[in-house]
Amino acid sequence: MTEARSGPTSNIWSRRTWAALLFGLSLLTVLVHGYHPLAEDGGLYVAGVEYTLNHALFPYYTGFVREHLGYSLFAPMVAAIVQLTHLSLAWVLLFVDLFSVWLTLFAARQLLRRCIASEPAQLAGIALLGAWWTMPVASTALLLMDPYVTARSLSTPLSILAIAFALDDWPPARWLASSLRWCGLFLAIAAALHPLMATYALAFVIVVRASRLRRRALAWAVLAAAATVVAAAVQAFAPPESPALLEAILTRSYWFLSQWQWYELFGLAGPLIVLAAILRWRNNKLSSSAHVLCQTCFVLGMVATFNVLLFAHESASVHLLAKLQLLRIYLLIYAVMIMLLGASFWQLSSDAGKRVPSLQSTLRFLSVALILSMAAVMFFVQRQDFPASTHVELPWRADRNTNPWVQAFFWIRQNTPQDALFALDARYINTEGEDAQTFRAIALRSAIPDFSKDGGEASITPSLALLWQQGARAQKDLSGQNDTVRDPRLRALSATWMVLHSAAVTVHPCPYDNGTVKVCRLTNAR
């Protein structure tokens, strides 16, 4: 990659220094925020990789495993790495996670060096990004970055790299300028991994380029109007929704601003307020690229929010625009806000120290202490989110995980037939102490669709909606029912095994019980 051709830059620190700093920060980021490769959406993506490696897995309800394989190359890419390296999937996931963390911090460096000349200030912005790694992005059900591997783990840093090169000057006579080529390449790779997030990265790049025009206000107005027209057309021509699909859609409350709490709305205004404060108090100190980034965030944030308010309603006849989750653009807005905030705070401390030299060391110490304290808070939050699981789930310690649900899932992997079909409580993944560990990815067995994660798949895939509705209803309060109620529901769906709370009453044999959860075989099934 070429050096930035616009915006401030400095070369006080060598490439080796930066390489060491980014490597060290990457390790610290993982240690602070943890690593849970089979939890939450990580488990959904991993199940897709496992299916890609072995199509004999998940013979029932396979659509919930392979649904995302049709539009993302993430699972085939990870599967190819496993096959080429002959490493286990667990090791490959760990390496991909570490690489994604390093790539994100590297991308942050590429963006900040175009905005801020001071390398210590750049480092402060990158360090704050690492400290706030798992910050929730408003109430969009997204984290800034996840403590597990998904397609977003790679599409996010690729998007930031594309934005960084979009900040460079593109000579009008050179349509294939180096920065343009790099920008296009990173967007293309991001699109191959996560088309939706890459679309929002493309929107960010377009607005960045528009913000460099002489008549940028007019360009913003045209783009905002075009976005609203496209949104209206998408909503107008959306296909009708079945009752099952509508039920799945309405389980995604975060799609609808009307269902957000008042304090959750601050998650939309907060980043823009911070960026406005940076522009107000650091206006003369900011480069043109930093101004462009702030302006881009304002435009995209307001346009996305306006269109969501206009079209994404629970009562709408169709909900295609709600499915597109326009507020996901805030993931990039949060990233920019955090990087500029960290760098600006360091610069503010340095400027104050120059006016009062005796305070310079104290202010810099306070800047470092503030970042470290924020990292400590995020470490505490992550421990609360995964209280029953090892903080960093390393491959060689997988069988030592003290989470009783994970222990049960591993027992199932080793002691039940591959063609078994399991039933679990519809909301098992939200059970206290389960830590959102996903059944399919750990147990390598088919499962009847659950309410939470499979509901997300069904809400964007109409063909899965009816299967999800039937499965979620059949497994509602599974452990709280008796066999008389439970058995007919599960046998109608051809289930052969159940995962129940240990206190659940059943006459079926339960060869595994760890005091929290038990695994029971449905007799006379099928």
Distance in angstroms (rounded) separating the CA atoms of residues 198 and 200: 5
Indicate the CATH number of 395-435+445-521 among 3.40.50, 3.30.160, 3.40.1350, 3.30.70: 3.40.50
Per-residue confidence (pLDDT) for residue 69, from 0 to 100:
86
Angle between helices 360-385 and 15-33 (to 10 degrees): 40
pLDDT of residue 179: 82
Geometric angle at alpha carbon 97, from 370 and 386, rounded to 5°: 65
pLDDT above 70 for 296: yes
Give the separation between CA 264 and CA 270, rounded to whole angstroms. Answer: 10
415 by DSSP, 3-state: which? helix
Q: What value does the mean pLDDT of the chain take?
A: 92
Rounded CA-CA distance 321/474 in Å is 30
pLDDT, tens digit (0-9, with 9 covering 90-100), for 43-99: 999 999 999 999 999 999 999 999 888 889 999 999 999 999 999 999 999 999 999
Q: What pLDDT score does 13 carry?
A: 79
Q: What is the pLDDT of residue 354?
A: 72
3-state SS record for 372-409: HHHHHHHHHHHHHHCCCCCCECCHHHHHHCCCHHHHHH
Quote the longest CA-to-CA distance of the chain. 82
Q: What is the pLDDT of residues 461-505, one digit of tens each?
A: 999 999 999 999 999 999 999 999 999 999 999 999 999 999 999
Reduced to 3 states (helix: H, G, I; strand: E, B; else coil), residue 431 is coil
Torsions phi, psi of 436, nearest 5? 60, 30
Answer yes or no: is pLDDT of 124 > 70: yes
Tens digit of pLDDT for each residue in 316-348? 999 999 999 999 999 999 999 999 999 998 888
Stronger pLDDT, 175 or 98, i.e. the higher one: 98
pLDDT digits (tens, 9 = 90+) for 97-108: 999 999 999 999
pLDDT tens-digit series, residues 342-398? 999 888 877 776 777 777 778 888 889 999 999 999 999 999 999 999 999 999 877
| pTM of this structure | 0.93
The domain locations on the chain are: 15-385, 395-435+445-521
